[in-house]
C-alpha cells in the first residue's frame, strides 16, 4: 500500500512553509505514531477513515488547515450545522496523547489531522502520498465561518467558486469529491430528491436512475428516520477507496445532489470520465491525483513559524 509516494515540488512546499519530513529530527516517530493509532481505530471501526478525511476537509475550508475544527466550546466550528456529523475526534486525541508522551509540545494537531486523513485512505486500499508537515494550530474557531462550506445542494458553479477561493481547480474539485468513495450520509441530506422533487413523472429528481429509485426509497422512506446512514458509494464496500464512485455518477446513482451534478454538468463530466478511463480521453489515475489534490488542500491558509501554537490538548487552546 505504501509503494507509491505522491510528491509535490520542494519549491512549492517551502513557499507554503511545510515540508515532507518536518519532524525527522524533533520527533522522528511522529508519523509512525499517528499511523499506528489510526490503524488501531480502523481495525475496530473501518468507517473512521471517511470521518478523518471529512474532518480534514472541513478544517481546511474554514480558517485554513489549523485544527480549529477540533476546539471545544460554545460557538466554535465544531458546533456549526455542517460539522455536527463530524467524527474521528477520538483518533486525533489518542494520537495527540501518545505524541505528547513521546515528544512534548512538538507535533501540531493540524499535522496529526493531515497525516491521519492520509493514513485512513491507505488503510481503505487507496494509494499513499507524502504529507508535508510543519503546520501550527490556530487559536480562533468560529461557527459562523463554517457557513460557506460546500453544501449538498450546491450547483457546480457554486462548488467551483468555493474551491477557487481556496486556490483549488475544477479538477481538484472532482478529485476531492471522489473521496466520497468511502463514507456515508444521512437520509435527511438527500431524501428530498426522492419525493415531490418534481411535479411530473415519478416525482423524483430526474437525474436519479429510475431502476435505482425503489432501492433508495426503501432505505429512506418518506417521513422516515432522517438520521439513517446510507453509503455514498453504493454497490462496493464502504471502506474501499476506488473509482466506483465515478461509475455510479455515470449510471445515475450519485446519492448527494451535488455529487450527481459532477456528471450532469458538462464542465466536470469530462474529468469524471478521465478517472473512469473512458476510451478516447487521456486517462487520469484517481489515486495519484487524489494525493496531489490533498497536498494542495492541506496547505490552505496554514500557520507556520511563529504563527499560532502547538496545542497540548487538541480540543483546547493553550
Cα distance between residue 317 and residue 218, in whole Å: 45
Residues linked to residue 185 through DSSP beta bridges, in sequence order: 230
8 A C-beta contact, residue 308 and residue 317: no
Active-site residue (options: 58, 135, 160, 311): 58
Could you tell me which residues are annotated as the binding site for substrate?
150
Label residue 304 exposed, middle or buried (CB < 10 Å: 0-12, 13-18, 19+): middle
Cα distance between residue 60 and residue 300, in whole Å: 6
8 A C-beta contact, residue 194 and residue 150: no
Per-residue model confidence as pLDDT tens digits over 39-58: 999 999 999 999 999 999 99
Cα distance between residue 132 and residue 112, in whole Å: 11
Could you tell me which residues are annotated as the binding site?
59, 62, 64, 66, 68, 77, 150, 180-181, 233, 236, 242
Residue 85 C-alpha cell reads as: 456529523
Question: What φ, ψ does residue 79 adopt, rounded to 5°?
Answer: -90, -5
Residue 8 C-alpha cell reads as: 509535490
8 A C-beta contact, residue 266 and residue 101: no
Per-residue model confidence as pLDDT tens digits over 216-248: 999 999 999 999 999 999 888 778 999 999 999
Instruction: Note the pLDDT of residue 279.
Output: 54
Asked whether this chain's domains 29-149 and 156-296 adopt the same fold, the reply is no
Rounded to a whole number of angstroms, the distance between the first and last alpha carbons of the chain is 37
Instruction: Note the pLDDT of residue 17.
Output: 84
Q: How far is residue 167 CA from its own chain's centroid?
A: 16
Question: Coil, helix or strand for 68?
Answer: helix
Asked if residue 3 has pLDDT above 60, the reply is: no
Asked if residue 11 has pLDDT above 90, the reply is: no
- Give the pLDDT mean for 196-203: 85
Instruction: Note the pLDDT of residue 10.
Output: 35
8 A C-beta contact, residue 129 and residue 6: yes
Assign 3-class secondary structure to 21-76: CCCCCCCCCHHHHHHHHHHHHHHHCCCHHHHHHHHHHHHHCCCCCCCHHHCCCCCC
Question: Coil, helix or strand for 84?
Answer: coil
Which distant-in-sequence residues (6+ apart) come within 8 Å of 27 by Cβ? 99, 102, 103, 106, 107
8 A C-beta contact, residue 204 and residue 194: yes
- Give the pLDDT mean for 272-299: 85
Give the confidence band of 61 by pLDDT, cuts at 50, 70, 90.
very high
Asked if residue 15 has pLDDT above 60, the reply is: no
Residue 89 C-alpha cell reads as: 475526534
Asked if residue 169 has pLDDT above 90, the reply is: yes
Q: Domain boundaries in the chain?
A: 29-149, 156-296
Residues linked to residue 230 through DSSP beta bridges, in sequence order: 185
**CATH code of domain 156-296:** 1.10.420.10
Instruction: Note the pLDDT of residue 13.
Output: 38
Could you tell me which residues are annotated as the binding site for Ca(2+)?
59, 62, 64, 66, 68, 77, 181, 233, 236, 242
Max Cα distance, the chain (Å): 65
Instruction: Note the pLDDT of residue 237.
Output: 75
Give the confidence band of 278 by pLDDT, cuts at 50, 70, 90.
low
Instruction: Note the pLDDT of residue 167.
Output: 97
Mean pLDDT score of the chain = 92
Cα distance between residue 68 and residue 46, in whole Å: 25
58 is catalytic: yes
Class of domain 29-149: mainly alpha
Give the confidence band of 2 by pLDDT, cuts at 50, 70, 90.
very low
Per-residue model confidence as pLDDT tens digits over 31-40: 999 999 999 9
**Spatial CA neighbour of 94 closest among 52, 140, 62, 131:** 52
- Give the pLDDT mean for 111-127: 97
Asked if residue 283 has pLDDT above 70, the reply is: no
Sign of the dihedral defined by the CA atoms of residues 161, 167, 173, 177, in that order: negative
Amino acid at each position: 500500500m505504501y509503494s507509491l509516494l505522491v510528491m509535490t515540488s520542494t519549491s512549492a512546499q517551502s513557499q507554503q512553509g511545510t515540508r515532507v519530513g518536518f519532524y525527522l529530527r524533533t520527533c522522528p516517530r511522529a508519523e509512525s505514531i499517528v499511523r499506528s493509532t489510526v490503524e488501531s481505530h480502523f481495525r475496530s471501526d473501518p468507517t473512521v477513515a471517511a470521518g478523518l478525511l471529512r474532518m480534514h476537509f472541513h478544517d481546511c475550508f474554514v480558517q485554513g488547515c489549523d485544527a480549529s475544527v477540533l476546539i471545544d466550546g460554545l460557538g466554535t466550528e465544531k458546533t456549526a450545522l455542517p460539522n455536527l456529523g463530524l467524527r474521528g475526534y477520538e483518533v486525533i486525541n489518542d494520537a495527540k496523547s501518545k505524541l505528547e508522551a513521546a515528544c512534548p509540545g512538538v507535533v501540531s494537531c493540524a499535522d496529526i489531522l493531515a497525516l491521519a486523513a492520509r493514513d485512513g485512505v491507505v488503510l481503505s486500499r487507496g494509494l499513499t502520498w507524502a504529507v508535508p508537515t510543519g503546520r501550527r494550530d490556530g487559536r480562533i474557531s468560529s461557527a459562523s465561518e463554517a457557513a460557506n462550506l460546500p453544501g449538498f445542494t450546491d450547483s457546480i458553479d457554486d462548488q467551483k467558486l468555493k474551491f477557487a477561493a481556496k486556490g483549488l481547480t475544477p479538477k481538484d474539485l472532482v478529485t476531492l469529491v471522489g473521496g466520497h468513495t468511502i463514507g456515508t450520509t444521512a437520509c435527511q441530506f438527500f431524501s428530498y430528491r426522492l419525493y415531490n422533487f418534481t411535479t411530473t413523472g415519478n416525482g423524483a429528481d430526474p437525474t436519479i436512475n429510475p431502476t435505482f429509485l425503489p432501492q433508495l426509497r426503501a432505505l429512506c422512506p418518506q417521513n422516515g428516520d432522517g438520521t439513517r446512514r446510507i453509503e455514498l458509494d453504493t454497490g462496493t464496500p464502504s471502506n474501499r477507496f476506488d473509482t466506483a464512485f465515478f461509475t455510479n455518477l455515470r449510471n445515475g446513482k450519485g446519492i448527494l445532489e451535488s455529487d450527481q451534478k459532477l456528471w450532469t454538468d458538462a464542465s466536470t463530466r469530462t474529468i469524471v470520465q478521465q478517472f473512469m478511463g473512458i476510451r478516447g480521453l487521456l486517462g487520469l489515475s484517481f489515486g495519484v491525483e487524489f494525493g496531489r489534490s490533498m497536498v494542495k488542500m492541506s496547505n490552505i491558509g496554514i500557520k507556520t513559524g511563529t504563527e499560532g501554537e502547538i496545542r497540548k490538548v487538541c480540543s483546547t487552546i493553550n
